[in-house]
Amino acid sequence: MPAMHTSALVLFSGGQDSTTCLAHALSRYERVETLAFDYGQRHKVELDARLNVLAALKARFPAWAAKLGEDHLLDAGILGQISETSLTRDTAIEMESSGLPNTFVPGRNLLFLTLAAALAYRRGLQVIVTGVCETDFSGYPDCRDDTMKAMQIALSLGL
């Protein structure tokens, strides 16, 4: 029987979905680290809020505080350089002729998962947890269940 996974890296923006994922990981794994990305997004308040959420979790849940390891913030500014979106530019949110909202940052989740996998590998973390919401797939193709499953296979094979 294979050994149970005991550690995880949570992609943690500080929003509702990623906070729920962090709570799930903390209730399940012995060691949990967090990872966020600064890609030049306009809503930088999220990057600050995540630190407040981490502090509150540590203060209110001592058992989880003992499991919570290092927090990482990676520069993914390249996304802002290669995409003209309302998340990385001062433009109004609207639908594009492609049918996608102009908030779509092409490849964002694919890059995030790839970087997370490399970090998890180096840190000896066995599981990657992300709060990608499949109901967002109509606006964000990299949130589709098939995309997530393909990434899981590719990252498992590649690492």
- Strands (DSSP E) contained in 4-146 are 7-11, 31-38, 68-75, 127-129
Domains of the chain in start order, with CATH, are: 7-158 (3.40.50.620)
Residues 135, 41, 54: CA angle, nearest 5 degrees: 75
- Spatial separation of the C-alpha atoms in residues 21 and 132, rounded to whole Å: 10
Q: What pLDDT is stored for residue 45 in this prediction?
A: 79
- Inter-residue contact 32 to 10 (CB < 8 Å): yes
Q: What pLDDT is stored for residue 87 in this prediction?
A: 56
| pTM (predicted TM-score) | 0.81
Q: What pLDDT is stored for residue 133 in this prediction?
A: 65
For the chain (159 residues), the mean pLDDT of every run of 10, in chain order, is 84 91 97 92 79 96 97 86 62 62 68 94 96 61 75 85
Q: What pLDDT is stored for residue 157 in this prediction?
A: 85
Q: What pLDDT is stored for residue 120 in this prediction?
A: 97
Q: What pLDDT is stored for residue 143 in this prediction?
A: 66
Matching residue, tokens 């809503």 = 43
Secondary structure class of 35 (helix, strand, coil) = strand
